Structure 1
């Protein structure tokens, strides 16, 4: 599958999403362990729904496939969503779907590329995200990238009869540039 190197990092690059990757994305999203991490365990992801979602992402402008450079392999997806051009803010979402590429720094590299794009190309002032408290690896990743916790929606997620907090984190453009998080 041909990919286009829109934003390039050391081990990966971000490319416009390809609707041809729908089967792989459906496979990841329907994996129970993965869907718990992303907070979507109660949802089903039939292939037509995933295809439609990827087509919408392709048209949206700030959604990207995460591609491993060495293998030219689709490993995840990330985006800046809800971009507000007046107030200069957006939300960041990311998932490393391919289990072989989790816990190896790919998420961190992709987040930094996306932040660089958001703060330098889109001239955003603030980027925020929400993560479930049980996703410790994601929280560590975001903290390493310079995000700070700004609050919680307490006991907002119900999984298997247990409730979990949604942790809200954000970063300002000044913090990103000042702290050297701009190391892309």
Structure 2
């Protein structure tokens, strides 16, 4: 009788230890944290700070400023936002703001954004550093790089020594196939 109690006790202890170990590990183990990049948001062309050109107060909240592309961010598509200035201001005082979604191999886009920004050429005049060259060029579109989860960031476009935008990334973006085009009519400040 004593031996059977010992055997039953050992079996019960073994079962309790086995069940407790696997159950405790499963119930209390924290899930692995998902990598997150600060500053990622849903891409939009209608944020207030993107529409400042209209001269009218914007109701939409602002989006984060452009930032360097984080090492762990893997874009799979691109959204661009830019004005169709060829149509001018419509009779209803609106301008066309074009949102284009593009998809494809973004490696050339990333290579364009990876170019270095050149130091600005300056000269010292009366004890103040002044830029010695100026550039007159088109304003690049607003660009969103979008990951597989739909989170996006606005990358910093590298610049040359006169402050001009390096267009390699924009050229690569424009080579990607367009999947969706949306034309927004944005109120523009009426003439005074």
Q: Which has the higher contact order (CA 8 A, sep 6+)?
A: 2
**The TM-score by the shorter chain falls in which range?**
under 0.3
TM-score when scaled to structure 1?
0.23
Which structure's residues are more often helix, by fraction? 1
Normalization by structure 2: what TM-score? 0.22
Q: Which has the larger radius of gyration?
A: 2
Identify, as 1 or 2, the structure richer in strand.
1
